[in-house]
Amino acid sequence: MNAIQKILVPTDFSGHADEAFRAAHTLARLTGAEVVLFHVAQPPAVVTEGGRLLAHPGKGEAVNLWDRFEHTPLTDPRIRVTHEVIVADRPGAGHILEILERLGCDLIVMGTHGRSWLKQRLFGSVTEEVVRRARCPVMVVKAPAPAQDLPAPEPGQAAGAVEAHPGGKALPK
């Protein structure tokens, strides 16, 4: 595999996509690569006089995609991050592969929603199709599970207390 120079990160601005961007950002810092953050906006999407790209303008809650790009976490000034947006009715793997070829990216880093087997069979998976069809490596990133609270120690027990096990090993209580 050649050196990574350009990393494509498709985003839907979900937590999974944010985690993929963090991973790509780290790789870019280590390799000196550029990151291309890519989004498919569904129509209608319009560009306003100030250069703002608005998605969903007719729904009363127009979203400025450039603001979303600008507020993407981890903006290290040493890492070049560019943004690409296309407008399409049904975002899919073909759009990601088209941008991959047009921009000459060396790696795709994308998040996964981790759908169940049944949902994936019924609705398909953009990530799975990209993995199958891409000409370059694809890194699939799963967002970390939300932290769960550990159970409180029982009264009279110190945190981290251990109990002797008959086999001679100490086991946590």
| pLDDT(84) > 80 | yes
Q: Identify the CATH number of the domain defined by range 6-147.
A: 3.40.50.620
Where helices occur in the chain by DSSP H, the ranges are 15-31, 65-70, 93-103, 117-123, 126-133
| pLDDT(143) > 90 | no
Q: What is the pTM of this model?
A: 0.70
Percent of the chain having pLDDT more than 70? 57
More confident residue, 9 or 57: 9
| pLDDT(165) > 50 | no
pLDDT digits over 27-36, tens only? Answer: 999 999 999 9
Q: What is the mean pLDDT of the chain?
A: 75
Which pLDDT value is given to residue 66? Answer: 63
| Residue 91 near residue 10, CB atoms below 8 Å | no
Helix, strand, or coil (residue 65): helix
Which pLDDT value is given to residue 137? Answer: 96
Percent of the chain having pLDDT more than 90? 29
| pLDDT(159) > 90 | no
Of the pLDDT bands very low, low, confident and very high (cuts 50, 70, 90), residue 40 is: confident
Pick from 10, 29, 28: which is nearest to 20 by CA? 10
| pLDDT(164) > 50 | no
| Residue 39 near residue 11, CB atoms below 8 Å | yes
Which pLDDT value is given to residue 126? Answer: 86
pLDDT digits over 113-129, tens only? Answer: 765 555 555 445 888 89
Highest mean pLDDT among 85-94, 141-150, 164-173: 85-94
In the 8-state DSSP scheme, what is residue 150? P
